[in-house]
Amino acid sequence: MIEKITMNREKWKGFLDAMKVMGADDVKLDIGSNQIGCDWVDPAHVLMMLSNIDGCKISKGLMNKSIGIKLEKLYRYFNVKGKKDELVELLIDLEESKISFTAYGVRVRRSIMPESQTQVIATPRIPELKFDCGFTLSTKDFGEFIKAADIMNPDKVHGAIEIGIEKCTPWIESPGRRDKDAREAGEFITTVGMWQDGNGFSNVKAGKDDVSTMYAMDYIKAISKALKKSEELQIRLSTNYPIEITGDVGAEIKFLFAPRIKD
């Protein structure tokens, strides 16, 4: 029997675009009564990505089921932005392990994983985290900061972003790389930073103490790119604690990302 999922095309595309940026391929889609969830962990087990597509119309035969799929097979069919409120229909044949849909006026049929293979994909254990602080940040401003930090920091491997709240004021910095001469002198080269005044911060929640934690630049860059379609980012953090970054790209995407130990 053919089951069907109907949803907003741009929500589906937003989900696929974010997953593609992060390099996700083999994933498990957890199907509810009106939403699709997908929890994914990167191979290094440093970052967790939690996705949710709501407002879906799902046939009863798919509710509360999981489908394993190779997203690489789908990315190219949803590259072009669709019309506002355009819908996409995914037809699922669980018996034959197939998914079909229309893209560019052509009917496409691809394989999905059989149930036995889907069950092999581990469901990430989502940690229970309590954050002391948080704030909302303009995605555009954050993206501009990342570009500047990437230019000013020549260390592509060990580059870092430090995020904190001091006296109720959020700040984000990228310390320049310490080369041998600077290290001996105890100095950093130019530091790129953004602070609350004039930089799109809002909804600041500060804890009793100041917080400050460092994160690897390459992961932050990927997250910024994955969430670039979101108007704003919600950030929650505590000192030496994973950071939570949430954005809305049509689908709600939440990242949990382990800190980098300071030198």
d(CA 76, CA 218): 25
What is the pLDDT at residue 157?
A: 54
Ramachandran angles phi, psi of 12, nearest 5°: -65, -45
Cα–Cα–Cα angle for 145, 132, 19, nearest 5°?
A: 50
Task: Give mean pLDDT, residues 187-197.
Answer: 52
Go through the domains of the chain in sequence order and give each one's CATH number: 2-118 (3.10.150.10), 133-257 (3.10.150.10)
d(CA 37, CA 14): 13
* Residue-wise pLDDT tens digits, 4-60: 999 999 999 999 999 999 999 899 999 999 999 999 999 989 999 999 999 999 999
Instruction: Please name the helix (run of DSSP H) or strand (run of DSSP E) that holds residue 168, with its range, or none.
Output: none
What is the pLDDT at residue 191?
A: 52
* Residue-wise pLDDT tens digits, 63-116: 999 999 999 888 888 887 777 788 999 999 999 999 999 887 889 999 999 988
Helix, strand or coil, per DSSP, at residue 17: helix
The residues, ordered by sequence, that sit 6+ positions from 4 with a Cβ below 8 Å of its Cβ are 57, 58, 59, 62, 89, 90, 91, 92
What is the pLDDT at residue 188?
A: 43
What is the pLDDT at residue 84?
A: 73
What is the pLDDT at residue 189?
A: 44
* Residue-wise pLDDT tens digits, 225-255: 999 999 999 999 998 889 999 999 999 999 9
Q: pTM, whole model, 2 decimals?
A: 0.88
Return the higher-pLDDT residue of 1 and 158.
1
The residues, ordered by sequence, that sit 6+ positions from 45 with a Cβ below 8 Å of its Cβ are none
